[in-house]
Structures are given as C-alpha cells and as structure tokens.
A and B are shown apart, each in its own frame.
Chain A
C-alpha cells in the first residue's frame, strides 16, 4: 500500500517569512495530492491540492509543487501570518477502482513567531 513520509514534524518561522513542508510517497500510481490544515479541536480542512498531470499550483500565499519522478511534493506558504499556525497534513491517493481513501503523513506543527 501507499506510504507517505512528511518533514519536518515541527516548523517554527518568524511572521512574514516563508515556510516549506515536504512529503514523499511510495506508490507510483498515486495521482492526487491534497494538503489539509487542522486547527485544535477541528477536522482537517483542504487548503490546496494538486493532480499528477500538473507540476505546480498556486493560490495566493500558498503553493504546491510535485515531482513525480522523485515521488515528492511540497507545500510553500509565503508571508506567513499568525493565523497560519496549525498542523498541516499531506496526503496521497491512487484513484481508480472506486477506493480512494487518503493516506496521510504524520503532520507538521507550524508555529508562527510574532
């Protein structure tokens, strides 16, 4: 089955700086890679996703890059703000056959220092 590794487990950055979180996956059939933000006591919320036919996607201060050859993808947050503090999860899934449950990484606790 799929295995997703995520680094770092904790990331502390100064407000206004950039943050980068990296993930690797094992199943070459995986073709959908979402990123979720989870705040304390809440369920995960999708912030951006990328499909295997695209190398990069951007939405305002958030961007995701995908390298299919190396099987890794990254989340980039620019101009970080206090409200960006949360736990971020990457995930991967191979679509087709009906079963598309996500395999998640272990999460990155992002801390924005004022």
Chain B
C-alpha cells in the first residue's frame, strides 16, 4: 500500500513570497491533516479535513495560510505572504475515518526555508 505522498520535498523562498505544498493521502482515507513542525519541536496541527469539508482550522493563521481539498482526495496548503517564522517542515497525514481516534499516517514532509 502506497503511503502519504508530499511534494515538493524542499522549498526555499524569500519572505513575502508565496508557496504551495501538495499532499496525496493514502487511498480511501477520508480524513487529512496538515501539521507544522518547527525545528526541535513536535508537530502542531494546522487544519483537519473530513472528505472535502473542514473539521478543525482553529490553529491555522488564516491571514496568510489557506488550505483546500476540493475533491476530497488531494490537498494543497498555501502560504501568502511568507514570513521568516514560517520556516518549518510541513507534514501531511491521513487517517481512515474521523469521529474516533484512529491511526494517523504521516508523509515525509516538505521542508520550507524562508530567507
């Protein structure tokens, strides 16, 4: 079974530029998460989707971050404009269902460096 796919793996941008990350979850997984992992810390949830609907975006900085999952499969996370403090690894995870605590499977992440 293929795992969670993410691209690109690395991205370097200047501050105030925009950037987008892509995630393809494990086939059949209805729930998709985006986490931000700053160096030396644990992942922090940004947003959770159930199919193409948002379940939780309470920790998403909505003035600069946006995410969508239009067809209930792939998802994109965008930052516009980027700040220095956005430098982090952005992890995508998927789970078979929500409503009960089920295993979350993580992708390899996208490492973002903002200069």
Interface residues of A (CB under 8 A from B): 4, 6, 31-32, 34, 36, 41-46, 49, 51, 89, 91, 93, 95-107
Contacts and interface: CB of A to CB of B under 8 A. Distances in A.
B43 A102 contact: yes
Contact of B42 (A31, A93, A100, A107): A107
A107 B56 contact: no
Given A43-B108, A104-B43, A99 B101 contact: no
Interface string B88-102: 000101010011111
A100 B101 contact: yes
Given A32-B101, A42-B108, A102-B104, 12 more contacts: A31-B101, A42-B109, A43-B91, A44-B43, A49-B103, A91-B42, A98-B98, A100-B98, A100-B100, A100-B101, A101-B33, A107-B41
Given A43-B108, A46-B103, A102 B41 contact: no
Contacts of A102: 43, 45, 104
Contacts of B48: 99-101
A44 B45 CA distance: 14
14 contacts: A31-B101, A32-B101, A36-B106, A42-B108, A43-B91, A43-B109, A51-B101, A95-B101, A96-B99, A98-B50, A99-B56, A100-B99, A101-B56, A104-B44
**B48, B104, B107 — which one has the most chain A CB atoms within 10 A of its CB?**
B104
Contacts of B33: 101
Contacts of B104: 34, 46, 102
Interface string B26-54: 00000101010000111111001010000
Given A89-B42, A98-B55, A99-B56, A43 B101 contact: no
